[in-house]
Structure 1
Amino acid sequence: MLDDTLLDDPAALQRADHDRALLALAGAGARVRTALRLADAAGVDRLRPDGRPRAVLVAGHGSALTAGEILAALAGTASLVAPLPPTDAAPVPRTDRASAPPVFTAGLAWQLPGWAGPLDLLVISSADGGEQGLVALAEQAYARGCAIVVTAPAGSRLAEAALQVRALPLPYVPSNLPDDGTPPAGPAAEPDLPAEDPAALWAHLTPLLALAQKLGVTQLPYDAPAATADLLDEAAVRCRPDAAAYTNPAKSLAARLAGTVPLLWAEGPVAGAAVARFAAQLAERAGRPAPAGLLPQVLTAHRGMFAGQLGGGADPGDFFRDRVDEPDPLHLQVLVLRHLPGGAAAGEEDPGPAEVPADDERPRGYATTRAHRLAAAHDVRLTEYASTRPDPLHALADLIALTDFAAVYLGLAAQS
């Protein structure tokens, strides 16, 4: 059950936010600036590549893999960008029986594709830098002749391995949350699977963008990553805890999703990366399942749910049944994310992502029009949110910032 009053009580939100997720998201812009400055100091701006690599492989887990998926969306068909997830896991022995069990991710393993070789670039990114599987992957890549870039905390095992395999080392920028003397989080249900920093995505993505821009993997404007930091700051102001729900788009979205099973649909690869991220954050931060996918294929993948018990028109009979003691039934809700470049007039300030009214005159693709028809036919509410930024990276930052805050607000209000 969602506590609507908590959303408009900044002090209550602060008390409920045990791991200070809202503060971490508010500092995302600062992390982007720091990561760009440190990447420049590490030598990214001095690179003189002889052409671009045949493929860019991005290895890691969690937000590091999401960063690879975002880079693939931004590169489009011009360059091959492939996220490289772990393929196996092995137990890590405990050195002290009295201590907490080793983090599960320490035992993950990765494997290079058979075709990877001297024409390819491997980017390894880790917030911890202690995964032996990533160290082994760097050694694999070195033996194959791949170019290697490693983003990891200074002094970590992975950062030291980067020097051994002649990789370009880039620093990972951790969250700079102040220590107020309180524990950062409550007791975890799974001690070896701790929650990830919600703003870690930008610490993984920023060095990757700076590198990809230098190699010609993306066609982003030169100042696009730096301007993204300003947009994240603006989003943090719009979505701040002391902004009332009716003026805070993230709180409004959280309240809209409460009590529903959201289907997250996207039009285009940029919005597709945003809905994949939102689905992961809803699971992580709010404990909510949210199937996600790209139009048009998601229409056939999710169509069966509209006729099931979660559809808006389900249970039309038994009108006189006593429902006083029954909980409110869950129903589907469709959320469509879009990128509509050029929506703001010349010289007009873009307010960030906003709900698209049903009578909006801008043309919709056939798949989006069909999505509206499917939802209307089954009495399922469909809401569109769109960013009108012309630059795809900025549109992505808009959508991710909004949905990241919404996932945190939904989780905080639901647990109270």
Structure 2
Amino acid sequence: MAFVFEEHRLDDVGTDPSLDPEGLLRQTATAAAQVRQARTVAAHSGLSLLADDGRPRSVVVAGTDVAAFAGAVLETLVGVRSPVPIVTVTGCRLPGWVGVPDLVIAVSTGSNQEADTTLRLAAEAVRRGSRFVAVGPRSGPLRELAERARAPFVALPMVGEPRTLLWSLTVPLFAAVEQAGIRAFTDAELDAAAQRLEEVAHQCRPTVGIEDNPAKELALAFADTLPVLWGATPLTALAARWAAVQFAANARYPVLLPSPPEAAWAQPAVLTGPLQASRGLFDDPADAPGIRMRLLLFRDDEALPEEAADLARAEHTAETAEVLVSEVAAQGRSPVERLAGLIALIDYATLYLAVAYAVEPLTHTLVVR
């Protein structure tokens, strides 16, 4: 089946909800409410018990898929200033060094194969006597395990497609480590993040036309291209990782991402390689063979000089190769607000890309209650 990008669908979705059959645009708009509700639920879930045993030797987040990304958010935003290591385990085995002094937080969005993996990791942590917290659906085996272990359990405040529940999973992690003696984010910082999410949702809502909608403009820019994603700081690199997931899951779009970090130095070279179709903005795509790439830069005005130089080098390489460049910028004061804004914009842009191509985004069979 050949997919054709139809620009008119970007505006038609504002009056025709059937163009978003899974309702993912509507679910994405709940991000701000997730921050607020997850903070409230976490505050009444017994996490204060963590303070009784003091600071752990390490924090281990066990989860897969979007739950694993929630762990990566904690690791990136909080781990940089944490006095103890924060790591995320996404495989089937809990590292051998995890034991009694460590805090293990098991995170899951449902009851499927991925949740079974998380449950096994959680059960192993409990068997070893680790300090334990669980975050997941209101009912299910993870909650039952937490109750048997007499450990705190934070129920997800909302239901929906798992990748639209990122903040329902992430905010309880912030609350848990805060109670364990590791500074995360203040209520004011989380309020600012929620407000940022609301602002992006308002700017990018379906009823706003292309010319005034940054997400629709971004979707239009990446029509019939291979996105090359570049973030030079830890925060923007994390946003680029999320973008790669959302391009694939929402629009079934492949991307190029400089990962792992040791390969990043070579990534700009692909912009000048044999697969890049070299042409200008007004050239007919049919006149040049190759793949039309487009570079997406994730800017951060808090980048170190070396990080800013890496981003400038990638941009210069693209311009030299006549590769078009788009950019998004982190905005806000705290790291969580800055990341939230980038993630929200990418969520909407990739969903609008799916709408324009009439692509049905990938969905899970949910057991989130």
Smaller-chain TM-score bracket:
0.7 to 0.9
Task: Return the match for 1:397 from 337, 340, 344.
Answer: 340
- In the alignment, structure 1 residue 71 sits paired with structure 2 residue 71: no
Match of 2:20 in 1: 17
Choose the corresponding residue for 1:280, options 226, 238, 245: 245
SS at match of 2:247: helix
- The amino acid across from 1:166 in the alignment is R
- TM-fit CA distance, 1:75: 1.9
Show the counterpart of 1:143.
Answer: 127
Which residue of 247, 255, 258 corresponds with 1:293? 258
Once the two structures are superposed, what CA deviation does each residue of 1:282-332 show, in whole Å capped at 9, x if it has no partner?
A: 000000011223798554342442233432438xxxx9xx987x8986311
Q: How many residues align?
A: 349
Q: How far did 1:45 drift?
A: 5.1
The answer to whether the 8 A contact 1:58-1:65 is kept is yes
Relative distance call for 1:174 and 1:135 in structure 2 (3 A) is same
Offset from partner CA, 1:53-72 (integer Å, 9 cap, x none): 22211111111001011111
- What is aligned with 2:364? none
Contact 1:333/1:380 (8 A) holds in 2: yes
Give the drift of 1:388: 3.0
1:213 paired with 2:174, answer no
* Cα deviation digits, residues 160-217 of structure 1 (max 9, x gap): 11111232111012337xxxxxxxxxxxxxxxxxxx4431111111111222233343
Which stretch shows the higher mean deviation, 53-62 or 215-224?
215-224
Q: Give the letter for the 1:398 counterpart.
A: G
**Using the alignment, how far apart are the partners of 2:19 and 2:203 within structure 1?**
20
Give the distance between the partners of 2:5 and 2:253, measured in 1 at CA.
Answer: 13
- Amino acid across the alignment from 1:150: A
Structure 2 gaps of 5+ residues are 360-369
1:335 to 285, 296, 304: 296
Q: What do the CA deviations read for 1:246-290 (whole angstroms, capped 9, x no partner)?
A: 111111111111111011110211111111111001000000011
Deviations 1:23-66 (A, max 9, x none): 00111111222111111111235652554322211111111001
CA change 1:11–1:401 in 2 (3 A) is closer
Asked if structure 2 preserves the Cα contact closer than 8 Å seen for 1:306 and 1:312, the reply is no
Larger radius of gyration: 1
1:265 is the counterpart of 2:230: yes
User: Pairwise mapping of residues 154-165 of structure 1 onto structure 2 (< 5 A)?
Assistant: 154-165=138-149
How far the C-alpha of 1:381 sits from its partner, in A, is 1.6
2:347 matches 1:382? no
Corresponding residue of 1:53: 56
Structure 1 counterpart of 2:200, which letter?
A
Residue 49 and residue 338 in structure 1: after superposition, are their counterparts in 2 closer, same or farther (change >3 A)? Answer: farther
Alignment partners' CA distance in 1, 2:259 and 2:326: 15
Question: Which consecutive aligned stretches of 4+ in structure 1 deviate over 4 angstroms post-superposition?
Answer: 294-299, 326-329
Query: Within 1, Cα distance between the matches of 2:261 and 2:110?
Result: 38
Residue 373 of structure 1 aligns with which residue? Answer: 316
Closer, same or farther: CA 218–410 of 1 in aligned 2, 3 Å:
farther
Deviation readout 1:68-115 (Å, 9 max, x if unpaired): 1111110243332211113xxxxxxxxxxxxxxxxxxxxxxx211011
In 1, the alpha carbon distance for the partners of 2:134 and 2:149 equals: 10
Deviations 1:209-246 (A, max 9, x none): 22223334344334322332222122111110000111
2:356 matched residue in structure 1? 413
| Residue 119 of structure 1: how far off its partner (Å) | 1.7
Match of 1:8 among 11, 17, 40: 11
Any conservation in 2 of the 1:4–1:413 contact (CA below 8 Å)? yes
Q: Please list, as runs of the form range in 1=range in 2, the aligned pairs for 1:147-296 lying within 5 A after superposition.
A: 147-175=131-159, 196-293=161-258
CA distance in 1, matches of 2:269, 2:285: 26
Distance (Å, rounded) in 2 between the aligned partners of 1:370 and 1:125: 38
> SS of 2:329's equivalent?
strand
Shift of 1:13: 5.1
Higher helix share: 2
Query: What's the secondary structure of 1:334's corresponding residue?
Result: strand
Cα distance in 2 for partners of 1:309, 1:159 equals 53
CA distance in 1: counterparts of 2:327 and 2:262, whole angstroms: 18
Are 2:98 and 1:116 equivalent residues in the alignment?
yes
For residue 212 of structure 2, give the secondary structure of its aligned residue in structure 1.
Answer: coil
Match of 2:363 in 1: none
Which whole-Å CA distance do the structure 1 matches of 2:285 and 2:95 have between them? 56
**Aligned sequence identity (%):** 31
Which residue does 1:82 correspond to in 2? 87
1:52 & 1:246 partners in 2: Cα distance? 50
Alignment CA distance shift 1:40-1:57 (3 Å): same
Work out whether residues 63 and 108 of structure 2, in 8 Å CA contact, stay in contact via their aligned partners in 1: yes
Bigger shift: 75-84 or 110-119? 75-84
Q: Assess, with a 3 A threshold, how the Cα gap between structure 1 residues 323 and 263 changes in structure 2: closer, same or farther.
A: closer
What is the CA-CA distance between 1:398 and the residue it aligns to? 0.5
